[in-house]
Amino acid sequence: MRGLTKTYPAARGRRGSAGTPEIRATDGIDLDVGRGEIFGLLGPNGAGKSTLVRQLTGLMRPDSGSVDVLGHDLVRHPERAARLIGYLGQESTALDELTVALAAETTGRLRGLSAREARAERDAVLEELGLTALAGRPLKKLSGGQRRLACFAATLVGDRPVLVLDEPTTGMDPVARRAVWAAVDRRRAERGATVLLVTHNVIEAETVLDRVAVLDRGKVIACDTPAGLKERVASEVRVELVWRERAPIELPEVAALRADAQESGRRWVLRLAPDAARAAVAAVTGGPAFAALDDFTLATPSLEDVYLALGGRMEGLVKA
Ligand SMILES: Nc1ncnc2c1ncn2[C@@H]1O[C@H](COP(=O)(O)OP(=O)(O)OP(=O)(O)O)[C@@H](O)[C@H]1O
């Protein structure tokens, strides 16, 4: 993609309520994704991930910029996207009335499979994802995680060379999440599928992605392998302190740490040079602060740290 830009127009407020200003949801995005790559888009709520993905999948026309998927210009020919891309959006109400089996089979038929092929693929994918027992249930009567898994199953039927998955594991339990990642991995290993994965789950991103672009306010603020991104903050150590009830900020050694801490409730996260990290741990474990401490960890940086070091905002980033 080159120079992808999309601005949502300002909306006037109704009956005295405030209007919304114009929002540039994607702001000149350039990205190259290699064939066979599992590529992530990471960023907080509102960063522009879904807007970008909708432009990539031909569902939304960019104001400017271009999208080339396997040699096809999808801005000029958005109708070709359906043949190239299996897309799992954030919402899936279109399939709600169907049973799990019919959702998968119908998707296959819509993608040009014969009735026999669609049924065979349906059975295989439901088996692969552990959905066979739910095959006869309508999607609207499933739990959120089960419904998400059923929609994911439908996305896989009819084998598209590119998969675009917008937060595929939202609401899923660990078993279902593992099934999703195994299925993605298999599509890549056996069929050379390319996967674009939208997530704001930094932990998940770290374990499954080959490369990741960090998006913030419509712009790519970094793009690298998870390891490459982490090298940028390699000189830092992450110190995590969890207080029993509250931080005893009346103690000077705790008050001194607070300036560097990212606070979320009882949990403080500090990114410090190794010497400072050791001193911080000594200060909270060696004196009266220790009584107020529930747990502490020292760790090398995670993608979350990279994200913060790059100036991203903390809100909206899920920690698994
Ligand atoms: N239809 C719309 N009309 C106006 N503004 C919109 C519309 N859709 C999204 N926006 C705004 O565009 C920005 C980008 O939204 P987008 O949904 O692309 O973010 P996202 O990164 O996918 O967020 P999330 O992680 O919450 O799904 C946000 O500020 C959002 O409020």
ipTM here: 0.96
What spacing in Å lies between the alpha carbon of 49 and ligand 1's midpoint? Answer: 8
Q: Is 80 exceeded by the pLDDT of residue 140?
A: yes
Give the closest residue (by CA) to ligand 1 atom 24: 45
Name which of 156, 92, 76, 93 is nearest 124 in CA terms.
156
Q: Is 70 exceeded by the pLDDT of residue 37?
A: yes
Q: Residues 6 or more apart from 94 whose CB is under 8 A from it?
A: none
Percent of the chain surpassing pLDDT 70:
96
- Ligand 1 atom with the smallest distance to the CA of 11 is 4
Rounded mean pLDDT of 52-77?
95
Pocket test for ligand 1, best of 4, 23, 214 (most atoms within 8 A of CB): 23
Q: What is the pLDDT of residue 314?
A: 47
What spacing in Å lies between the alpha carbon of 24 and ligand 1's midpoint? Answer: 9
Which residues are bridge partners to 192 per DSSP?
A: none
How would you class 124 by CB atoms within 10 Å of its CB: exposed for 0-12, middle for 13-18, buried for 19 or more? middle
Q: Quick one: DSSP state of residue 250?
A: T
What spacing in Å lies between the alpha carbon of 216 and ligand 1's midpoint? Answer: 12
pLDDT band at 232 (very low <50, low <70, confident <90, very high): confident
Q: Is 90 exceeded by the pLDDT of residue 43?
A: no
Pairing state between β 211-216 and 194-199: unpaired
Yes or no: say if 93 and 139 are a contact pair by the CB < 8 Å rule. no
> What CATH architecture does domain 2-10+20-228 belong to?
3-Layer(aba) Sandwich (3.40)
Summary mean pLDDT of the chain: 89
235-300: CATH number: 3.30.70
For the chain, which residues make up each domain, given as ranges? 2-10+20-228, 235-300
Q: Quick one: DSSP state of residue 20?
A: B
Q: What is the pLDDT of residue 271?
A: 87
Name which of 100, 55, 94 is nearest 78 in CA terms.
55
pTM score of the predicted model: 0.80
79-108 pLDDT, tens digit per residue, is: 999 999 999 998 877 888 999 999 999 999
Query: What is the Cα–Cα distance from 11 to 19, expressed in whole angstroms?
Result: 5
Query: What is the Cα–Cα distance from 70 to 67, expressed in whole angstroms?
Result: 10
What spacing in Å lies between the alpha carbon of 204 and ligand 1's midpoint? Answer: 22
Residue list, ligand 1 pocket, CB within 6 Å: 8, 23, 25, 43, 45-51, 200
- Ligand 1 atom with the smallest distance to the CA of 43 is 21
End-to-end Cα separation, the chain, in angstroms: 30
Give the closest residue (by CA) to ligand 1 atom 8: 51
